[in-house]
Each structure stands twice: as C-alpha cells, then as structure tokens.
Structure 1
Amino acid sequence: MLTVQAMTTYIGHKQIIKQGSFEVAAGDIAGLIGPNGAGKTTIMKTILGLMVFTGQIQINHQTVLEQDHHALAKVGALIEHPAIYPFLTGWDNLRLYAQTAANIQTVVTQLAMTTFIRQKAKDYSLGMKQKLGIALALLNQPELVLLDEPMNGLDIEATILVRKIIKQYARNGTTFLISSHILGELQKIMTDVILVNEGRIVLNQPVHKLNQLRQQRCHFVTDDIPTTVKLLQAQKIPIKSVHDGLSIDRGYLFQVQDLLAAHNLHLLALSPYDISFEQLIVRLLTQGNGVGR
C-alpha cells in the first residue's frame, strides 16, 4: 500500500530525512518510532506531499508528486494538531470534507462524539479536539491513514476506543502509519515497526520478528557458579552475570548443557531471559544498525 524509496527530505538546503526507504502492506498497522527530533512528523508530511523531497513515494502504486496530489485521494491524516475551524461546530468541520452525510454519522458514532458534535469546536477540550481530528482522518473510508500522536489528550476510555477502531479499520483493509511516544500503546495495535533516528530509517520489520530478538537469551543457575564461569570462558562461550545466575545466547544452550554434564555440574534452573520492548528499541537506537524486513 505504501512504498517509500530513497526518500530525502529538505528544509532549505538541509537534509532532514536521508535516503529513507520502507514499506507498509495493505491492512498493516505500522508504528513509526524514534526519539524527539528523529524525523517522524517530517516523514509523514513528506508522504503527504507537503515537503520538498527526492526519491519516490507510492501509495497503492500511484506516485506522490509535489504538484500533483492525485495519489492522496484516499489518504486520511492527523499531523501534529487537528486542523479544525474553531467557530464551526464539529459536525460542520466534518461536513467541509465529507463525501456523504452517512460518512459523517459513521465516524461520529464510532468515536462516541454525539453529545458534543453540534457544539462549536472552540469550546472543545483537548480530548474532544483530538477525537474530531481522528474523525477527519477516518472520514470518507480512506485506504491509508497517517496519525501523528493520535492518543494525545485522550483519557483511558477514549484511548481504548481509538485502539479498537484502528484495529477494526485495519481488519477491513485500511493501512495505518502511526507515530507515538507511548510505546506501550503502540505495542497493543501495531503489526510492523519502522524505527527512525537522526533522519535515517534504522529498522523496518514485522513485530513478530522483533519479538524473536527479545527472546534470544537464557538465564540459568548451576550448583557451582564460579566453576561454571571458568568452564564456559575456557570454551570461549560468551556469558553474562544476571541476578543470581548466568545468561547465554540460546544458540549455545545445548553445548552448555553437554559441558555441565561432562564436568558433573548440575543445572538448578533454566528459563528464557526476555528484554522488554522498550529496552530492545533503545538497544537498536544505540546500535544504529539498519535491519530490513
């Protein structure tokens, strides 16, 4: 659905995004993750044809051009702040862009906006404005939706509701690119991760592959830790001290078990040693190594 190839985005003569390439398949929910200033919002603006860029961006096989936005006809977006007219009601804001009244009623009902949709937007709370911005992005049944910090200002109930709606749209084929600093929220919905740092795409992978990286080590305890350490070091097996035991890469597990048995050392405990998703992201950002799909 979305293919970005060698995209370089400029502000003046300065490169902000540098040779960025990634793809998102139809119906996927891609999380765009990175530290402040990494380029997440700039990437979204570039996809929308709002920035000067080189390279190629295609949406459903149609090329995005700076002077021709035909490829964006079925794209919805919420970037930075909801673009709403404060002296119009929420309904009238939606009516400006809606293709049919039925489309308006659909998003109003889905986002539980009935009680305030006829009020002027200038009187909305932050959460109400955010809901209206998300409604504008979902209006007219888009094929691709870009959401920049969509959970900003939403209470717990509204956050759960928005997650549910995103999953529902994705099941029906809508593709999402979502940026957020709240990794815990993204984890609950995203199928793919696009990691960006200092204007470069560090990683573009399905979540299930990243989870495999989180589970590559084992924690174990023996009845003689000092002797075990000397034995494994002599065999040049990389080990780390963890809590009351040791940690090894899973690839060495069978070799370690054989060595312990051969030297009459007893294995008292063995368990997977997983790192959190947040720890993995920090590690990948620190390493800065690009990993493809």
Structure 2
Amino acid sequence: MHDDRERQAAVKQAGWCCSWAIVFGSFAACCAVGLIVCGVVITKPVVETKSLEFQETTCTTNQSYLTGRNIGCGCGKNCQSNYPCLRMTVTYVVNNATIDGVLFDTEQRLNNNGGSAENEQCVTAPCQRDAGQNSRDVLNFNDTYAPGTSYTCLYHPDRPGNVVLTRLFTWDAMFHSMLWTSIFTFIFAVLFFYCLYKCREAKNKVASIPVTIPPRAPGAQPGYFLPQPPAYSEGGQSMGMQPPPQNIYSNDTKTGYSNYNYN
C-alpha cells in the first residue's frame, strides 16, 4: 500500500511538472518572438540609421513635388495598396553654413528609401487599404510642410544630406523593449527547463517503484466437488457407462404378482 501511494504521488507530480513545462515553454517562445520583433522593428532602424546620433536644427522646405511613382505596400493580411511618392527637399543652417538635404518623416523611412533613386525618395509612406485615402494623406502632409515652412528637424553630422522630421524611437524605447523581452525570455526559459527536469525526475521515480500485483482468488479445494468416475474397461478398451440391470422378478404394482411366466 505504501508503494502504491508513493507511485500515485509521483504520477501526479509528473503530470503537474509536464503541464507547467508546456506553459512556461509557450511563454518563453512568445517572449523570444517579441524580442525578435523588437530587434527588427526598433533596434535595426535605430542602429542602421544611427538615429540616436541625429542632432536638432531648424529646417525650411525648399521644394516638394510628386515624383510620378506609385509605391506598392502591404496594408495587412491579404491586403495590397499603394501611395504616391512625394519628394521634399529642405535647407538648414549648421555653424553658419547652409546645407541642402532630403526630408524623411522618420528614421525608418530614411532607412528604407534614403539610398533609393530620387523618384523613390518618399518623404512619407501612408499605407491604408483605400489607395485614395493614401493620396489624401500625402497631400495633407505636403500642405503641412509646404515650401517656405520652417520646423524642427534632425540631421546627422556624417550624412548631412538626409534629414529626419521626427525620431520614431528613442534610446529609452530601444533599451526597454530589448531589456524586458530579454529578461522575460530568460526567466521563462529557466522555468521551462526546471519543470522539464522535475518532470523527467518524477517519471524516473514512477518507473523505479515496483507495481504491486494483487493476490489471486483462492482456487477450489479438494473435496468440494466429486471427481468424475473412471470409465470401465474391458480387454484394454474403454467402455461407456452401462444401464443398470433390470429386475425380471419385479412385482406388478397393480396385481402384486410376479411378471415371470412359468410356462
């Protein structure tokens, strides 16, 4: 009985540990995916464009025009759209020197189109399902930053020809996005492997506990049943049971006389 209780407890422990291993493994996988997404969406543009090194200045729009290209874009699952490409050039002053540059709304847009041909250097890239709405958004952007308008912008000392309107991701955003996803990935991975270890340990314990086989029911004891009588044999051959001999001297129950015929 003690072995049976211990075995049941080990089986229960193995089930719980395996269940928690699945849960923590799923969390670790989700956090790992989040870490990859943050790296691609946030860290990659920041590192490649060196946007954290951009410095503030005041830009004035010189020229803005539609290049004549409609750029295709993905607007979601099974959704394709397009937007007209608007190119915008600006001037800004650094150390009493006037510098010309091409404006991009964010460092991600700079990363995607900064090195493209002039007809694909789009200052903004709205991508909704309705292509007409994308065109209206581009025209509204052009009206907001029309030629002659001054506003705060960002430039990089090593690449003064490319200017960013707004920094999409700050140092804090990049740091925290990578920090917390890394921490939770590590924590859930440790819990996953710990539960996996405990699950394997419990399974080995179950395998090491002998299984108690219940005793069989007692069999029939001698004398409980009459044995079958042996068959008669004659001349070495087995003979079947014969009917008992008839009494030829039996009396008639009605007359009381013998049935024997004396004639």
TM-score (norm 2): 0.22
Larger Rg: 2
TM-score, normalised relative to structure 1: 0.20
